[in-house]
């Protein structure tokens, strides 16, 4: 993959796509059931973004930057807020169940950019366990720290997307995809061991999702 150096303080991000980008980046390019709803999804980790392509026969990998100085950015710092927000977007939670969370959800969604952890890859196994009441919020939070697959930056508005500039646009070859798949397998094997230890260590610590939801009813 081509390397790029960006002058100044603009944010360097990455985007992986099975079908590529037609025209300019748009905030309606994703499914509505993604972590942060509909938006243009990017990440801080090139390895994680390339991992999006691991099950594909072809794909496109982009390096881009964006001047976010005049954009409103919401960054999740609380694992429980992140979990409820993702849970609503992914269809695990009906927002009518937690009416006091609705204004929080709407405020977060009103920002140009939302920044937070990724619920894909290994978290795609852990997150449903939390939503189904099998893990506590302490286990979830510790897993988020341990998995550490990078942070996603999701551009939610036309204004935000208009400030994205694609710096490199690379078609990913079959050989590169094979390397990506092997790298992801090695990474997931290491993460599996960490997650298993975390589950044992914190299995009696923290609150379950139904207990957290009680705060917002």
pLDDT tens-digit map of 2-18: 344 444 457 899 888 77
**Residues 189-204 pLDDT 10s:** 667 788 888 989 998 8
42-86 pLDDT, tens digit each: 998 876 766 666 666 667 888 998 988 889 999 999 999 999 999
Residue 171 is inside which H or E element, if any?
strand 164-172
**Least confident residue range of 25-39, 62-76, 166-180:** 166-180
The DSSP output letter for 148 is: -
Distance in angstroms (rounded) separating the CA atoms of residues 178 and 66: 30
Within 8 A by CB and 6+ apart from 27, the residues are: 38, 39, 40, 155, 156, 157, 158, 160, 161
User: Is pLDDT of 209 > 70?
Assistant: yes
pLDDT of 213 reads 98
Question: What is the pLDDT, as a whole number, of residue 50?
Answer: 65
């Amino acid at each position: 993959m081509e390397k790029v150096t960006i002058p100044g303080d603009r944010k360097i991000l990455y985007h992986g796509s099975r079908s590529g980008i037609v025209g300019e980046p748009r905030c309606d390019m994703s499914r509505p059931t993604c972590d942060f709803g509909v938006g243009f999804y990017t990440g801080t980790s090139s390895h994680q973004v390339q991992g999006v392509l691991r099950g594909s026969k072809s794909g496109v990998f982009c390096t881009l930057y964006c001047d976010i100085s005049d954009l409103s950015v919401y960054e999740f710092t609380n694992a429980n807020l992140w979990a409820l927000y993702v849970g609503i977007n992914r269809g695990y939670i009906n927002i009518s169940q937690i009416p006091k969370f609705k204004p929080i959800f709407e405020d977060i969604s009103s920002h140009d950019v939302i920044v937070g952890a990724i619920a894909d890859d290994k978290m795609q196994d852990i997150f449903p366990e939390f939503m189904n009441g099998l893990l506590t919020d302490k286990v979830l939070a510790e897993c988020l720290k341990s998995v550490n697959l990078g942070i996603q930056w999701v551009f939610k508005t036309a204004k935000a997307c208009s400030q994205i500039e694609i710096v490199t646009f690379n078609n990913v070859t079959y050989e590169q995809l094979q390397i990506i798949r092997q790298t992801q397998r090695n990474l997931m094997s290491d993460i599996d061991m960490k997650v298993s230890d975390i589950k044992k260590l914190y299995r009696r610590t923290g609150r379950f999702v139904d207990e957290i939801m009680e705060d917002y009813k």
